[in-house]
Amino acid sequence: MISHIKKISSSTIFPLLLILTILSLGVLTPIITMVAFGAILAYYVRFIAKKIKPYVKYNTLAITLGMILLAIPIVLLLYFTITQILGISVSLFGSLQATAGNNPLNFGLISDAVQKLGFSATVSQGIADAIRSGITQLLSAITNSLINMVSSIPALAAQVLILIFSIFYFARDGDKIVQYIKDVVPDKDKGFYREVIKGADDVLKSIIVGNIIPAAILGILSGVVYYFLGYPYVILLAIVSGIAMFIPIIGPWIVYGAIGIFSILLGNTMQGVLVIILGWIIETTTDFYIRPRISVQYSEVHPLVFLLGFIYGAVTMGIPGLFIGPMILGITYAAYKVYREEKVKEKQSGS
């Protein structure tokens, strides 16, 4: 068969390959995001599987255990987030119906706090009503989103199944894919692609080491602070604080500031001041000490790459976009960087 292919003109082969590629992308378009996300997560599964491999006999078992270990923190994160949001929704709507006195979100406390600000009765009532309306609408929207999510469980299950299989096969056959690319790429271009792949490797490591690990540390430390200061829904507040670290410029300050101001309005001045001060200490320590210490061994990827990748990746592709966005922009950045370096070398050697 190969001998017959050699006789075919390249002008016929390449259009055929292009047409087949376009048709394949058309078939995969509805699931391409999950397949790409699976390929990225497979990178981390392979890393875990390599650590497990000396203790198990089969490579497939090592990859399966790696997938389970990677899934545990994600499942726990989703579980605690959903259960805490549902708990807040139930307690809020219960307070609307029964105005329970011991409810952490009792609206009577908000009205009392606003009245203490010294405004007239009409202004105070307007402010309290606006706060109540905003909280009610926010939690109502969250509840509706959860209901819609439940109704879309069949489609979600199919996407998750595709993601699981993609992770498994990319993790198991990743070496074959790399070897296939090496066989197809011309020898003169292998140096360029080697550097691009190295750049992609740096991006994938930086996503975890430079962003997710510091965010997890910040979330844990924030949770400890919330617990000792006596806040309700500690786990949810800790998760939100960690996620807020990805917000450009303001970062977790939006969480610490909102919680602190809300506590002060409710009359808990010391609690509000402490959460702002301790939040500043945690954020500063994480951003200026912990992150550089654990990221120093990896090459620097420009912060704008992660900023645009995280924001617009999430907007266009949802949660998978948090990984796919920085990955695509990171590879593009690395490709242009390598191309520029090659051009500079050519000019220097020619002069």
The pLDDT, as a whole number, for residue 100 is 42
**Count of CB atoms situated within 10 Å of the CB of 134:** 10
The pLDDT, as a whole number, for residue 334 is 78
The pLDDT, as a whole number, for residue 221 is 92
pLDDT tens for the 351 residues of the chain, in order: 455 555 555 557 777 777 887 887 777 777 888 888 888 888 889 888 988 988 888 888 999 999 999 889 888 888 888 887 777 766 655 554 554 444 445 555 556 665 666 666 676 677 777 777 777 777 677 677 767 767 777 777 888 899 899 999 988 888 888 788 778 777 777 777 887 777 777 777 777 777 788 888 888 999 999 999 888 888 888 888 888 877 766 778 888 888 888 888 888 889 889 999 998 898 888 877 777 666 655 555 666 777 777 777 777 777 777 778 888 887 888 788 888 887 787 777 766
Report the candidate in 231, 244, 296 with the shortest Cα–Cα distance to residue 88. Answer: 231
Contact 262, 104 (CB under 8 A): no
Residue 57 CB burial class (10 angstroms; 0-12, 13-18, ≥19): exposed
Tokens of 308: 């645009």
The pLDDT, as a whole number, for residue 99 is 46
The pLDDT, as a whole number, for residue 65 is 92
Residue spans of the domains in the chain: they are 42-171, 188-341
- Distance (Å) of CA 104 to CA 99, 164, 262: 11, 40, 12
Model pTM score: 0.67
Report the candidate in 35, 323, 322 with the shortest Cα–Cα distance to residue 168. Answer: 35
Report the candidate in 239, 247, 244, 219 with the shortest Cα–Cα distance to residue 307. Answer: 247
Cα–Cα distance for residue pair 16/1, rounded to 1 Å = 17
